Amino acid sequence: MGRKPQKNDSLPGSLDMLILRTLSLRNLHGYGIVQFIQQSSDNELLLEEGSLYPALQRLELNGWIEGVWGMTSNNRRARIYKITAAGRKQLTVETRKYAKLTLAIARVMGTE
């Protein structure tokens, strides 16, 4: 049956960053984003798939991504998201914040 999916709560807030990064590489619909993240992380990151959608709504409300109706590879109607210019800027901001955070944690862990 597979491992129980772990809720993505190790670093709260990084879901937004992951989504933005995914969309910066290509335009995907909801399921596609989940697949990409899971595959890219070698199935280490297993999100609760439903929590993607509130996050997507929030990102869209803030103007960082845009959703349009389109067709999937299976010819089914889906809402395809793409990142906006503002979104790219936000991605840089979040990446920097995340890097600072991991550095700080690493320092703590590295201290004797």
Q: Which residue in the set 18, 29, 37, 45 belongs to the binding site for another protein (CB under 8 A)?
A: 29
Tokens representing residue 31 in the block: 């399921």
Among 24, 30, 40, 82, binds another protein (CB under 8 A): 30
Distances in Å between the Cα of 35 and the Cα atoms of 24, 29, 31 are 15, 10, 6
Per-residue x/- marks for another protein, 38-77, CB under 8 A? ----------xxxx-xx-xxx--xxx--------x-x-xx
Tell me how far apart the alpha carbons of residues 14 and 78 are, in angstroms, rounded to a whole number.
Answer: 25
Best CA proximity match to 17, nearest among 4, 31, 33:
33
Binding site for another protein (CB under 8 A): 1, 5, 29-31, 34, 48-51, 53-54, 56-58, 61-63, 72, 74, 76-79
